[in-house]
Amino acid sequence: MENLRAAGTDVVRVVYPDLLGADRGRDVLLTQLPSACTHGLTFCRAVYHTTPRGDVVPVAGGLDAGLPDICVQPDLATVKPLPWEPGVAWCLGDSVDPLTEGPVPESPRALLKRVLAHADDYAAHHHGAAGRGPLAAVVGPELEYFLCDSSPTTPSGWTPYGAATGNVYSAGRRGDPDGHLLRTLRQLEALGIGVIAGNHEFDGGQFEINLDHSGALDAADRAFFFKAAVKETARHEGRLATFMAKPFNGLGGSGFHVHLSLVDGEGRNIFDDPEAENGLSAAARHAIGGVLRHAPALAALLNPTVNSYKRFGPDTLAPWLIDWGLDNRSAMVRVPPERGAGTRLELRLGDASANPYLLVAGTVAAVLLGLRDRPDPPAPLEGYGYDESSAPRLPATLPEALDALEADGALTCLLGEDFTGAFLTYKRNEVERYQQSVTDWEFGEYAFLI
């Protein structure tokens, strides 16, 4: 409190991720922070079951239980003053069930902690891990998003900012006439979430900003802060920043790629083996095999919306098939060329709408299952990876991915029955609502000629 007060902070905004990965929270006066830390902050548990339009989905433990409370405990190690809102600091919170005094099953941050706790159990399944201590996942997130300007004449009310084409992988005012990227990079640097660099992406109004690698929980925390910060600073400018997978017809989608490696208790990257083929250890091959084996189920977590599956397809540079390759960006799993301490996998499956905690938890879980079960991956992809005869296809719709998740007993065992049940119920309700909604496309397609 003394440090915050000295920095001019008088409000702490305690935030936590819901199932979608959106930030929920409460502003707490600094004078009341000790009470919030002692007693926690109460919220209705159904906040985890609430849709973006404000409806409550009948997930077990919510409506059926009379809409009980959860208790959110501030994690003071995560306090970060907000550069764009003087006097306010962000702080992550952890959700606790007052009845069990344990984590709320729907809590994405608690889920990731549970999965990471299993890493110790899987160390023995890695050849040569004995004596080197527990395994730790190291994660580097990469996210893309679209910045939009208000446009009352368009059906959505928004249009891509700086929408001129051809400014692919550029910086400066050519594709960013108002200097959005520089302003955002500086604000994120002041926030202290490990931002490295950014650039204008493929389409007009699309940007990518990279975050440094760190331990898996810290990386997910920083990706959560990153998404919330980009959206919030855009609101301050009267704009919309969206991490929707594919927000516009005729333009590409936005990805959430994750770089992952495992280090042992001595800090050695266990994916590296200079004597092995392609410099990849047995652990790396089995990790790749685990991700490929569980990819259909992972799609439900990493591509979690109806819209997600409109990003996929041939020639999109988004994955379409369950494959891997050496420095091949058309593969679902890419192995970058660095070796030694930099040996890692890049999973390109996720889209930007994914909840960072669920994305990291699912990916780490699939890797750990690969270490346990030791599946050997097929030969790496050669050339451009959209030949359907070369590898199995990923799920083509959200319902197909949800069915794959429910059927993947090994993965759901690691994720936990309560979490999996809540997630499936919530997402199947989303599918049902979508199927019952009449879209602009349907009206334009049928109303005038039928």
Q: What is the 3-state secondary structure (H, E, C) of 66-117?
A: CCCEEEEEECHHHCEECCCCCCEEEEEEEEECCCCCCECCCCHHHHHHHHHH
pLDDT in tens, 309-349: 999 877 777 888 999 999 999 899 999 999 999 999 999 99
pLDDT band at 385 (very low <50, low <70, confident <90, very high): confident
Max intra-chain CA distance, the chain: 73
Query: How much is the average pLDDT of 242-250?
Result: 94
Residue-range domains of the chain with CATH: 1-103 (3.10.20.70), 110-414 (3.30.590.10)
pLDDT higher than threshold 50 for residue 131: no
pLDDT in tens, 260-274: 999 998 999 999 999
pLDDT band at 82 (very low <50, low <70, confident <90, very high): very high
pLDDT band at 295 (very low <50, low <70, confident <90, very high): very high
**Residue 126 confidence (pLDDT):** 56
Q: Specify the pTM.
A: 0.95
Q: Provide the 3-class DSSP secondary structure of residue 306.
A: helix
pLDDT band at 202 (very low <50, low <70, confident <90, very high): confident
What is the Cα 421 distance to its own chain's centre? 20
Query: How much is the average pLDDT of 380-400?
Result: 90
50 vs 205: CA distance, rounded Å? 30
Cβ-contact 333, 347 below 8 angstroms: yes
